[in-house]
Structures are given as C-alpha cells and as structure tokens.
Amino acid sequence: MLRKFYPKEVIDSVYSYNFREMYDRGYRGLLFDIDNTLVPHGKPITDEALTFIKELKNIGFNICLISNNREERVKPFADAAGVPYIYKAGKPLAKNYVKAMEIMGTNLQNSIFIGDQIFTDVYGANRAGMYSILSKPINPKEEIQIVLKRYPEKLILYFYNKK
C-alpha cells in the first residue's frame, strides 16, 4: 500500500546530485518543484538555482517547473531561469506531469520528477508512471499545512528505508 508513495531515490539536495549520470542513462527531461526543492519556500530564484539550471541545460536536459502555487509565484522564477512552467498543477494529479513532458518533448521513459514532498510531488509522479526523486527540503521553515504532512512522510520514509 505504501509503495505508491515511494520515490525511486531519496537525495540530500538537487545541487549535489549527479544529473550527468542520469543524462548518460538516457534521461532528457527534468520536471522540478520549486519551493524547498530549488529554493527555500516562497523565496525568489537564487544565483545558485540559475547556475544549476543553466548547467543542466548545457548537459542537454529539457526542464519544466511544475508547481501547485499561483502563477504570480511561478512565472517570475521560470522567466528568470528561461524554462517553461505549469502553475496550479493540481499535484498529485498526473495530468500536468504528462503536460510538462509534452511541453518538453519528452516521455515517461526519459523524464524525471524531482520534488520535496511525498504526498504531492512523488505520489503524482508515480501516478503518472515516471521516475520520481524525493529531495530533502532545503529549509525546515514551512507553512503549517506542509509541516503537518511531514509527520506521515517520516513514517513512509521509515518503511521505504527498510525495503
């Protein structure tokens, strides 16, 4: 039952992950959540995030941001990074994961989703049938509705780590 929430991988940070290896394995599309995956929740894009996205593009990846947030939050971030985006994505519904792949010209076999939440990000990617990576949150300061979800996430990660 819990397996539907299990990511394919858990990583400490997107900034220390070996995306080059994933490119070499045939992956071409990267879908990213923004808040607490690329930057702390609600913060504008950072130089680190801009450099990171530029490096991923230089490797050859197509990138799309997919967020449940409003366009006022997502658009300036995406515009600064020079990547397409989907706002109010309705994660964990699978339809906008598929739409993001269509935008990038990629598919389920060569796309990866990376986010910091199990019940929206990972579960949605798994429902879509794509490779999912759970990144540890950048900053522990979060909105209360997210803080409350972190407790059951810990239980799922406990069983994930035992598998």
Q: How distant, in Å, are the alpha carbons of 16, 29, 108, 149 from that of 62?
A: 19, 5, 13, 30
**For 31-52, what is each residue's pLDDT tens digit?**
999 999 999 988 999 999 999 9
Q: Are strands 9-11 and 29-32 parallel, antiparallel or unpaired?
A: unpaired
Provide the percentage of residues in the chain whose pLDDT is more than 90: 81
Provide the percentage of residues in the chain whose pLDDT is more than 70: 92
**For 103-144, what is each residue's pLDDT tens digit?**
999 999 999 999 999 999 999 999 999 999 999 999 777 666
pTM of the model: 0.90
